[in-house]
Chains A and B, each alone.
Chain A
Amino acid sequence: MPAVSKGDGMRGLAVFISDIRNCKSKEAEIKRINKELANIRSKFKGDKALDGYSKKKYVCKLLFIFLLGHDIDFGHMEAVNLLSSNKYTEKQIGYLFISVLVNSNSELIRLINNAIKNDLSSRNPTFMCLALHCIANVGSREMAEAFAGEIPRILVAGDTMDSVKQSAALCLLRLYRTSPDLVLMGEWTSRVVHLLNDQHMGVVTAAISLITCLSQKNPEEFKTCVSLAVSRLSRIVSSASTDLQDYTYYFVPAPWLSCKLLRLLQCYPPPEDGAVKGRLVECLETILNKAQEPPKSKKVQHSNAKNAILFEAIALIIHYDSEPNLLVRACNQLGQFLQHRETNLRYLALESMCTLASSEFSHEAVKTHIETVINALKTERDVSVRQRAADLLYAMCDRSNAKQIVAEMLSYLETADYSIREEMVLKVAILAEKYAVDYSWYVDTILNLIRIAGDYVSEEVWYRVIQIVINRDDVQGYAAKTVFEALQAPACHENMVKVGGYILGEFGNLIAGDPRSSPLVQFNLLHSKFHLCSVPTRALLLSAYIKFINLFPETKPTIQEVLRCDSQIRNSDVELQQRAVEYLKLSSIASTDVLATVLEEMPPFPERESSILAKLKKKKGPGAVSGNELEEGKREGGELNGAGERPGDSSAIGASNASTPSPSADLLGLRSAAPVSAAPPSAGSLLVDVFSEAGPAAPAAGANDDGFLSSAPPSVVSEDPAPPLPESDELLNKFVCKNNGVLFENQLLQIGVKSEYRQNLGRMYLFYGNKTSVQFVNFTTTVSCPGELQSQLNVQLKPVDPLVEGGAQVQQVINIECLTVFSDAPLLNIKFRYGGALQNLTLKLPVAINKFFQPTEMSSHDFFQRWKQLSQPQQEAQKIFKANHAMDTEVLKAKLLGLGTALLEKVDPNPDNFVCAGVIQTKAQQVGCLLRLEPNAQAQPGEQMYRLTLRSSKDTVAKRLCELLAEQF
């Protein structure tokens, strides 16, 4: 039982809470809650008017139930009523309920906004603060529209109380974050900046968050804040630990404000004014000095607050990256923290040092800590700290210490937590390639990687090792020998078998002289793994076998025997069976010369970019390929290949002989990516690109197993567009009656739509917003028109930037031409990489036939005359359906107008009905449509129905419109 019940306790609430706590099971709890909900519902519906206290109590109970995780679908109105109570306690609960359970119900928002408006103008600071809190908590666009103009005024007005100013500043910040377009600072800018000088530290603390956010977006307009921030900071830093009274926290003067000031300065380059800069450098030095002073308190709060400022100061020093002296001092300070007994400090020091490692001034200083960091990787008990250590090792790696760091990372991988293995593997692979002086070391490293963490070795990694081996003569023999040895292990990872199959198939001859690795030994070794492998690997092995026949004629009978056996030639997998059949035939009928040509060694891999694009252009024929059609082109190519040819059949042989690269070559598939002049592996390694590079052509060109085996073009890893999201139809329905809004949103991405239509043409703007702080790379979008839609709609995408920075938004324009009437929506596929992982999603583009409506005004007489003309059964479509939303005349009107038709007043004899008329404009024809919507508004809520009738000169149109519209009401 609670020790205190401050203010006025609500007894019923406390009883209810203890009842819930006493429930022995989830079922009992649900039962109790349902009982309570029924009780509250009856109270709210009852005839007796509830007094404020009861209303407050019930609303509070509902809130409690909601916070337990149950749905609440009533009580909003009662909460709104509480807002206008003149009892503070009731008002407060009302606001709390609204803040937690916002409902976008427009009716309610109007009422809420009204109550807020009253409180804002009440001049009662407590009420004003409540209202501001509510705005900040809800932060919806409607609220921004209503109050974004008023709040700056409150913020800077001379007679506003300090506490209200604080709330106003943060409220404005929230609105600015949700609807920056509605918050116009203009005339207020300078007065807001000068809040930095306010006497009240609380006001400064609140205002600086607002100023920082505004400065990030409009640095130029707010740049006067730099000198003000420096002088404020300097005053705090030099103050004694008790000067600031209540703003001193465990002997540290104003730690929050200090951090925020340092953060604000990170929005700007170093101050140009010498005096300001001098003062700032002095501050930073003082902060660094203070870190060396003995602590004024043993409490962790003291050291946390002090170090929070220190880390923020170091962040600023790194941001400026121009003061070698400060950078080195920062590095030394962090070095001390690396061995601190506080885990938190070790974590932060590792993290902060990562950024220092990339500065030319401090890179060497960071490197001196390598032993400590390696030790941290080995001994830290917390995986998140070890992760930071691994990051730092990666960041401090260069040619001089690569071997050591890679070796340490490899040995760590043996015991590393599953959660970070994949990332570690990529890091090792990148470092090994980036700093490889001799390639045998590189090959060793990657094979070790597969051996230790095979499951986490992504395709890109093993593609890459094959590319490098193919491209470098000097390492091929070594690679063959090493992989042969690695395969001897009784249990080896399938990725090892893939690499082994590929490399021995190409370069097995280089080690065949040694009787211990004679051709037959090699073959038997590979084949001993065959039955343990998945289909794609088996397919790869079959290709390796046919290569063996060419390399070592003496293995031919053995291999033919294998190919001929039932488990191959009658394999239930079509791909495997076909390979077996075709390879067997190829090996028996082709002459040695033909075999040697077909199965010759892989040519070196090309530089990536243009070759893929050029090939695509060629394949797609006359239609030019624009950058963003690339993905689609690849996909189509993939399908074509998949359907059109099989490995080893005549077309493959033909292709292999042809000098032009062809996507249909199987074993030689890799060649199709190879330009005539083979380039050595580029210095900027492809693996690095897996992480960092934008551009559709970045992925390891050609070395994927599709290129080697199943003859898809050697482009991106097979990334067919995902099937449309299950909710895509629902999302589409949202846009039938409106043209703008948010089409889709998940944790990573938000897609907004704006569109406009004229005649049979439309233009759509898609806004892709990156909600994360990490960039999206290889961001590509494609639109496809499945089936007959292709001939009905012409959709063109303008290119979109392949790189979307964290927090940024990019725009894409889509031009749409309606050729003739259509039913389906085009599919929009979006792909990008987010932190290495491929994101692939497909939505429906919100284009429906009604977008091409031209409204037609007509008289009642004309309407009914035309209505009668369209009286054939197939010209009419009708649906009777339950109302999903309240029957609000204004809302209905707005929806029907949004549909694009003209809403005809005084046409239908029954004033409750709605009739509309419009002409759909397509390139091929115009289709007239008439609509009638009949609500039975008098019915009880829950039983309200509509009858919707559409007539149109084209039968499919009436039907389609009826389907679309039935979802809207």
Chain B
Amino acid sequence: MRFMLLFSRQGKLRLQKWYTATAERDKKKMVRELMQVVLARKPKMCSFLEWRDLKIVYKRYASLYFCCAVEEQDNELITLEVIHRFVELLDKYFGSVCELDIIFNFEKAYFILDEFLMGGEIQDTSKKGVLKAIEQADLLQEVDVSSPKSFFLFK
């Protein structure tokens, strides 16, 4: 996988992960272009498209588009399920995840993605395996921080 983007229906980028070295300028250009292409597509259209020399696999969950750019020989359907598994992981971690969770806890979203994919390849497909790693990390955090910040501050 070359990169993964999460963006909203309004064209706001929520998460970006690049698995090959790309110049910032090119990144911005690609993001802009790709968002335009994907957002212009209608709901019933197919989840795959050719874009530049890449294959784009995308899926919309509520207000968020998850969009992966994969190589020519990569398997489109399994990439769709990569997206789904990532959504499941977010969901499990945040407890019915919504766009705001990802905005306000963007760093967590990156951590979860990192546990799941590394260098663009799947590290572990087991939901338990990935979540265990994240929970362990969270546990470590709780231990470190002597006075946990108010949990429900924004409720």
Chain A neighbourhood of B16, CB < 8 A: 67
Which of A249, A263, A301, A774 sits near B53, CB closer than 8 Å? A774
- Could you list 15 A-B pairs, sorted by A, with CB under 8 Å? A1-B155, A3-B95, A3-B101, A5-B149, A53-B145, A67-B16, A166-B123, A201-B125, A202-B125, A206-B123, A256-B81, A257-B125, A305-B81, A311-B76, A384-B45
On whether the beta carbons of B141 and A7 are closer than 8 Å, the reply is: yes
Asked if B150 lies at the interface with its beta carbon under 8 angstroms from chain A, I say: yes
Name the CB-closest residue of B to A69: B28
Looking at chain A, what size class is its interface with the partner chain? Answer: 35 or more
On whether the beta carbons of B144 and A2 are closer than 8 Å, the reply is: no
Asked if B93 lies at the interface with its beta carbon under 8 angstroms from chain A, I say: yes
Could you mark each residue 122-137 of chain B with 1 if its beta carbon is under 8 Å from any beta carbon of chain A, else 0? 1111111100010011
Residues 71 to 103 of chain A near chain B (Cβ within 8 Å) = 87-90, 92-93, 96, 100
Residues 3 to 44 of chain B near chain A (Cβ within 8 Å) = 13, 16, 19-21, 26, 28, 41-42, 44
Once the chains are docked, how many angstroms separate the CA of A64 from the CA of B110?
Answer: 12
Asked if A804 lies at the interface with its beta carbon under 8 angstroms from chain B, I say: no
Asked if A381 lies at the interface with its beta carbon under 8 angstroms from chain B, I say: yes
On whether the beta carbons of B121 and A173 are closer than 8 Å, the reply is: yes
Name the CB-closest residue of B to A306: B77
Asked if B62 lies at the interface with its beta carbon under 8 angstroms from chain A, I say: no
Asked if A246 lies at the interface with its beta carbon under 8 angstroms from chain B, I say: yes
Asked if A382 lies at the interface with its beta carbon under 8 angstroms from chain B, I say: yes
Chain A neighbourhood of B84, CB < 8 A: 301, 304
| Most chain B C-beta atoms within 10 Å of own C-beta, residue among A9, A257, A308, A773 | A9
Chain B neighbourhood of A89, CB < 8 A: 140-141, 144-145
| Most chain A C-beta atoms within 10 Å of own C-beta, residue among B53, B77, B82, B148 | B77
Once the chains are docked, how many angstroms separate the CA of A748 from the CA of B52?
Answer: 10
Could you mark each residue 99-123 of chain B with 1 if its beta carbon is under 8 Å from any beta carbon of chain A, else 0? 0110111111011001000111111
B60 to chain A, nearest CB (A): 13
Residues 33 to 69 of chain B near chain A (Cβ within 8 Å) = 41-42, 44-50, 52-53
The 5 closest A-B pairs by CB, nearest first: A1-B154, A174-B119, A308-B77, A88-B140, A2-B104
Asked if A163 lies at the interface with its beta carbon under 8 angstroms from chain B, I say: yes
Binding site for B on A (CB under 8 A): 1-11, 14, 17-18, 21, 53, 60, 63-64, 67, 69, 87-90, 92-93, 96, 100, 126, 129, 132-133, 136-137, 139-140, 163, 166-167, 170-171, 173-174, 177-178, 201-202, 205-206, 209, 246-247, 249, 254-257, 259, 263, 301, 304-305, 307-308, 311-312, 343-344, 346-348, 381-382, 384-385, 387, 747-748, 772-774, 806
Name the CB-closest residue of B to A173: B119
On whether the beta carbons of A6 and B93 are closer than 8 Å, the reply is: yes
Once the chains are docked, how many angstroms separate the CA of A163 from the CA of B76?
Answer: 27
On whether the beta carbons of A63 and B81 are closer than 8 Å, the reply is: no
Chain B neighbourhood of A347, CB < 8 A: 46, 48
Binding site for A on B (CB under 8 A): 13, 16, 19-21, 26, 28, 41-42, 44-50, 52-53, 71-73, 75-78, 80-82, 84-85, 93-95, 98, 100-101, 103-108, 110-111, 114, 118-129, 133, 136-138, 140-142, 144-145, 148-155
Which of A9, A18, A209, A387 sits near B149, CB closer than 8 Å? A9
Chain B neighbourhood of A11, CB < 8 A: 149-150, 153
On whether the beta carbons of A256 and B122 are closer than 8 Å, the reply is: yes
Inter-chain residue pair count (beta carbon < 8 A): 227
Chain B neighbourhood of A7, CB < 8 A: 108, 137-138, 141-142
A136 and B78 contact, Cβ closer than 8 Å, known pairs A382-B46, A384-B48? no
Chain B neighbourhood of A60, CB < 8 A: 107
Which of A132, A163, A259, A308 sits near B133, CB closer than 8 Å? A163
B3 to chain A, nearest CB (A): 12
A400 to chain B, nearest CB (A): 29
Once the chains are docked, how many angstroms separate the CA of A919 from the CA of B21?
Answer: 40
Once the chains are docked, how many angstroms separate the CA of A794 from the CA of B104?
Answer: 62
Once the chains are docked, how many angstroms separate the CA of A381 from the CA of B42?
Answer: 10
Chain B neighbourhood of A255, CB < 8 A: 78, 81
On whether the beta carbons of B148 and A8 are closer than 8 Å, the reply is: yes
Which of B125, B140, B148, B153 sits near A14, CB closer than 8 Å? B153
Chain B neighbourhood of A381, CB < 8 A: 42, 44-45
On whether the beta carbons of B104 and A17 are closer than 8 Å, the reply is: yes
B8 to chain A, nearest CB (A): 12
Which of B41, B101, B128, B140 sits near A4, CB closer than 8 Å? B101
Once the chains are docked, how many angstroms separate the CA of A126 from the CA of B115?
Answer: 11
Instruction: Tell me what chain A mostly uses at the interface: helix, strand, loop, or mixed.
Output: helix
On whether the beta carbons of B98 and A209 are closer than 8 Å, the reply is: no
On whether the beta carbons of A126 and B46 are closer than 8 Å, the reply is: no
On whether the beta carbons of A170 and B78 are closer than 8 Å, the reply is: no
Once the chains are docked, how many angstroms separate the CA of A382 from the CA of B48?
Answer: 10
Chain A neighbourhood of B19, CB < 8 A: 174
On whether the beta carbons of B121 and A209 are closer than 8 Å, the reply is: yes
On whether the beta carbons of B46 and A346 are closer than 8 Å, the reply is: yes
Once the chains are docked, how many angstroms separate the CA of A698 from the CA of B121?
Answer: 41
Taking A304-B78, A311-B77 as given, write out 17 further A-B residue pairs in contact, using a Cβ cutoff of 8 Å, ordered by the A residue number: A9-B150, A14-B153, A89-B141, A126-B137, A170-B118, A174-B19, A174-B118, A201-B126, A202-B125, A247-B126, A254-B125, A304-B81, A344-B76, A381-B42, A381-B45, A384-B48, A384-B49
Which of A6, A18, A311, A382 sits near B75, CB closer than 8 Å? A311
Name the CB-closest residue of A to B29: A747
B65 to chain A, nearest CB (A): 16
On whether the beta carbons of A9 and B153 are closer than 8 Å, the reply is: yes
Once the chains are docked, how many angstroms separate the CA of A92 from the CA of B121?
Answer: 21
A170 to chain B, nearest CB (A): 4
Chain B neighbourhood of A177, CB < 8 A: 20, 119
Name the CB-closest residue of A to B52: A747
B69 to chain A, nearest CB (A): 12
Chain A neighbourhood of B111, CB < 8 A: 92, 96
Name the CB-closest residue of B to A8: B145
Once the chains are docked, how many angstroms separate the CA of A301 from the CA of B87?
Answer: 12
Chain A neighbourhood of B106, CB < 8 A: 64, 67
On whether the beta carbons of B78 and A308 are closer than 8 Å, the reply is: yes
B144 to chain A, nearest CB (A): 4
Once the chains are docked, how many angstroms separate the CA of A163 from the CA of B135?
Answer: 14
On whether the beta carbons of A202 and B129 are closer than 8 Å, the reply is: yes
Name the CB-closest residue of A to B126: A246
On whether the beta carbons of B105 and A2 are closer than 8 Å, the reply is: yes
Which of B103, B122, B140 sits near A21, CB closer than 8 Å? B103
Chain B neighbourhood of A256, CB < 8 A: 78, 81-82, 122, 125
Chain B neighbourhood of A254, CB < 8 A: 125
Name the CB-closest residue of B to A124: B140
A422 to chain B, nearest CB (A): 15
Name the CB-closest residue of B to A102: B21
Once the chains are docked, how many angstroms separate the CA of A87 from the CA of B140?
Answer: 8
Chain A neighbourhood of B121, CB < 8 A: 170, 173, 206, 209
Once the chains are docked, how many angstroms separate the CA of A381 from the CA of B82?
Answer: 26
Chain B neighbourhood of A2, CB < 8 A: 100-101, 103-105, 154
Which of A3, A21, A67, A312 sits near B98, CB closer than 8 Å? A3
Chain B neighbourhood of A10, CB < 8 A: 149
A3 and B21 contact, Cβ closer than 8 Å, known pairs A67-B106, A247-B126, A308-B81? no
A246 and B129 contact, Cβ closer than 8 Å, known pairs A14-B154, A133-B118, A311-B75? yes
On whether the beta carbons of A136 and B101 are closer than 8 Å, the reply is: no
Once the chains are docked, how many angstroms separate the CA of A64 from the CA of B144?
Answer: 23
Chain A neighbourhood of B105, CB < 8 A: 2, 4-6
On whether the beta carbons of A14 and B104 are closer than 8 Å, the reply is: yes
Chain B neighbourhood of A312, CB < 8 A: 75, 78
A581 to chain B, nearest CB (A): 49
A170 and B123 contact, Cβ closer than 8 Å, known pairs A11-B150, A384-B46? yes
Chain B neighbourhood of A249, CB < 8 A: 81, 85, 125
On whether the beta carbons of A93 and B122 are closer than 8 Å, the reply is: no
Chain A neighbourhood of B144, CB < 8 A: 8, 87-90
Chain A neighbourhood of B94, CB < 8 A: 3-4, 6
Chain A neighbourhood of B72, CB < 8 A: 773, 806
Name the CB-closest residue of A to B95: A4
